[in-house]
Amino acid sequence: MATSCVMPFAFKGHQIVPKEQATVSLASHSLQYGSTCFAGIRGYVRERNVRIFRLRDHHERLMNASKIMGFGFHISYEDFEQIIAQLIEANRPESDFYIRPFLYSENEVIGVCYNGLTFDLGVYMIPLKSYYQSDKGLRLTISSWQKISDAAMSTKAKAGGCYVNSSMATTDARAAGYDEALMMDHNQNIVEASVANLFIAYRGEIFTPPVGSDVLEGITMRTVIELLENRGYKIRYEPISRSMIYTCDELFLTGTAAGVIFADSVDGRIIGSGKEGPIARTVRQEFQSVIEMEHPKSKGWVSEFSISEVCHEACSYI
């Protein structure tokens, strides 16, 4: 989890401002009612370049989220990319970081509907190396909190309010000594972790829950599926039961913050050998080679931004 300091500049009110000025009223609708949608994007710093993974897909998911929620906000990809570029220039990150764009409403309104509210884009950045503390594999538990259903609240929109559900599951998991919680849907199938998608190797095949189930359609998940399919694996999109989880040969999670990370146990049951399995290792290494621009897919998936030597307009506050 990122506990370090937010970088000095943020985007708010259509401009780059010092983060201290990027604040909202206590009475804002988004703070009262969780009316936000957000994206989470990795920035990798390599020499004087920042690499960003699948920025266009993150923008598309955020715009789809606005559409699903009825926020009525839209920004073109070109304008979005320019804001990110300006913020990189202003903050001049020196190590890997996380970009958090989100849509929010500052309207000071009591009332639970979005009609008539104005939604805007805010963006901040925060240094982030690994999200999970564990470098040896995750200790997971199946949460007793049920994953919200797409029939109740969109699970595809990364809406702020949905993360109350994720936070409750993770809070209880951590209090019980686990690293992360797996979530069950209303059919008692395991759909994902609190902030990451799920893959298992089971009887020689790779399973992940159906896209139409209550999962967030992860950009890392889509990437991993493509990498696996290119290697000749066929993915089975099927419900995953508790017993399949306890008896699978490999279990790994994928996410922008999480990366590709294996689980060594679930509820105390050792998964496979308790070590990183061959599929998880292959996928993790291949994913890393994409970021390091060593993969045929790198060019299409990674945008590079150079941090200029000279400070110009975008960082005029410095």
Give residues in contact with ligand PMP (CB under 6 A).
40, 192, 195-197, 216, 218-221, 254-256
CB of 111 to ligand PMP, least distance (A): 28
In the complex with ligand PMP, which residue's Cβ is closer, 40 or 101? 40
User: How many angstroms separate the CA atoms of 312 and 318, rounded?
Assistant: 10
Q: Please, which residues have CB within 8 angstroms of residue 76's CB and are 6 or more apart in sequence?
A: none
CB of 28 to ligand PMP, least distance (A): 23
In the complex with ligand PMP, which residue's Cβ is closer, 30 or 220? 220
CB of 53 to ligand PMP, least distance (A): 9
CB of 6 to ligand PMP, least distance (A): 19
Q: Output DSSP code: residue 297.
A: T
In the complex with ligand PMP, which residue's Cβ is closer, 183 or 266? 183
Beta strands in the chain (DSSP E): 9-12, 15-18, 37-38, 41-46, 49-53, 97-105, 119-127, 138-146, 180-184, 190-193, 197-202, 205-208, 235-237, 250-255, 259-266, 269-270, 302-306
First to last CA, the chain: 28
Which residue type does 188 have? Q
CB of 59 to ligand PMP, least distance (A): 12
In the complex with ligand PMP, which residue's Cβ is closer, 157 or 271? 157
> Are 157 and 64 in contact, with CB atoms under 8 Å apart?
yes
Q: Which residue is nearest to ligand PMP (CB)?
A: 218
User: How many angstroms separate the CA atoms of 43 and 293, rounded?
Assistant: 14
Residue 34 in tokens: 């969780």
In the complex with ligand PMP, which residue's Cβ is closer, 101 or 218? 218
